[in-house]
Amino acid sequence: MLLAVIDPSCEQSRKQCEEFVDKFITCSKDESLGTAMNRQFHKHQKTCQKKKKGGEDSCRFDFPRYPMRKTRILSRLDSTFSREDVKKYKAIHKQIVAATKDIASTDENCSFGEYLGKLRLTENDYILALRSNLRGHKVFYQRDLRERFLNVYNRDILSLWDANMDLQFILDPYATISYVNDYLTKSNVVASRLLRSLQEKFKKGDLDLMNKIRQIVNTFINNSDITAQEVCLHLLGMAMHRSSVAQVFINTSPFEKRVQLLKSESDLEVLHDIDPDSQDIFVRNLSCRYIQRPGILESVCLSDFAAMYTFPKKKSEKKQNEDRNSEEEVGFSENEEKKNTSTQYGDIAAQFNIER
């Protein structure tokens, strides 16, 4: 659940958001939810541990979370605080983190006031210490000490979902974009290592661009984790998705920066036999076809040209020569050969009833 606040620095807006959060989201332990509540508690594993600069282990999911008397939206300390004050509250924050980690199970049932008493802090100093570690705005949910490992949830959804969830009230639109992007670009350690070794191999080898791309794709596909559903679709030869709308990529980079594919080796050999000085060594792409479009399509823009017209797969130079030779052997006349040899845009004209 991703929700954005227009102005979290406004006191009125802040209070309205805090009320909204308490209405739909909670991290209070509810025994009536049974086993579903047990799944909401975070348990440290190897995957969630990371090393800090000082060599100290910490949880990348920020557990344990800080106890709070009530839900608050806090912001980082502003310029009204001196460097000495910021340094002092950062030191207090380290004290809070250490104390929250080291709380014994016998002390978990103490109240928030008793918790502050153990820390020997006032609630104001506690809040300022938390703010000293922020880079922007953040929601601190109402929770007791025994709930410091509990993920935030919605009671109605949890009772129906019956599985772990972690709902967060997002205050920063950039944080939302980063969150989604992190999942889309989630790194695969094994594949990344193999791709790096492949890159080193390319530096030493002499492969053309097409073979390099083919090896990269095969390496990534063959060494990536996929779901059981994807495995079934691959084995059965079924498409993973279907769409009634096709997509066409239009390269709008400057001409000198565009990557072009070389023709196949057989095509280049035929080209060399026909004209050794020919520079027509690249495979024709959409931009080339648009530049060489027939006069009747002169008023069609590039985007419409890409969307409205399709092109038949062109035979290789070698195959075309073989076809011509076979036609000559059969005895086609010159007119019949012209009739059966379509121009580059013959299919386009025929498809849209364009006179040539």
- For the chain, helix, strand, coil in percent to 5 are 50, 5, 45
In the chain, what percentage of residues exceed pLDDT 90?
17
What is the C-alpha to C-alpha distance for residues 5 and 163, in angstroms, rounded to an integer?
28
pLDDT averaged over every residue in the chain: 79
| Contact present, 276 and 291 (Cβ < 8 Å) | no
Site of tokens 């070794």: 197
Looking at the DSSP assignment, which residues form a beta bridge with residue 41? 150
* Residue 153 CB neighbour total at 10 angstroms: 24
What is the C-alpha to C-alpha distance for residues 154 and 136, in angstroms, rounded to an integer?
25
What is the C-alpha to C-alpha distance for residues 18 and 231, in angstroms, rounded to an integer?
45
3-state secondary structure of 150: strand
**Which pTM does this prediction carry?**
0.53
* Residue 194 CB neighbour total at 10 angstroms: 17
| Contact present, 1 and 167 (Cβ < 8 Å) | yes
| Contact present, 86 and 132 (Cβ < 8 Å) | yes
| pLDDT greater than 90 at residue 69 | yes
Domain ranges of the chain: 11-184, 189-236, 255-351
Tell me what pLDDT residue 301 has.
92
| Contact present, 42 and 149 (Cβ < 8 Å) | yes
Tell me what pLDDT residue 2 has.
44
Q: Which of 265, 269, 308, 264 is nearest to 286 (CA)?
A: 308
**End-to-end Cα separation, the chain, in angstroms:** 57
DSSP state of 26: B
pLDDT in tens, 217-272: 888 777 777 778 888 988 898 988 888 888 888 888 888 888 888 888 888 888 88
Tell me what pLDDT residue 186 has.
65
Worst-scoring range by mean pLDDT, 68-72, 141-145, 263-267?
Answer: 263-267
3-state secondary structure of 262: strand
Token pair, residue 34, equals 């049974």
| pLDDT greater than 80 at residue 8 | no
The alpha helices in the chain, defined as continuous H runs, are: 11-24, 35-38, 83-102, 112-119, 123-131, 155-161, 173-184, 189-204, 209-222, 228-236, 265-274, 286-291, 302-308, 317-330, 334-340, 346-351
Tell me what pLDDT residue 93 has.
93
**Residues 74-106 as b or e (16 or more Cβ within 10 Å = b):** beebeeebeeeeeebbeebbeebbeebeebeee
- Enumerate residues 6+ apart whose C-beta is below 8 A from 41: 149, 150, 151
Tell me what pLDDT residue 324 has.
56
Q: Beta 57-59 vs 72-75: how paired, if at all? A: unpaired
Tell me which of 342 and 111 has the higher pLDDT.
111
When computed from its CA atoms, the radius of gyration of the chain, rounded to whole angstroms, is 33
pLDDT in tens, 269-284: 888 888 888 888 888 8
How far is residue 164 from each of residues 21, 35, 152, 176, 262, measured CA to CA in Å?
19, 10, 10, 20, 52
- Enumerate residues 6+ apart whose C-beta is below 8 A from 143: 27, 28, 65, 66, 67, 68, 150
3-state secondary structure of 49: strand
Looking at the DSSP assignment, which residues form a beta bridge with residue 4? none
3-state secondary structure of 126: helix
- Enumerate residues 6+ apart whose C-beta is below 8 A from 307: 248
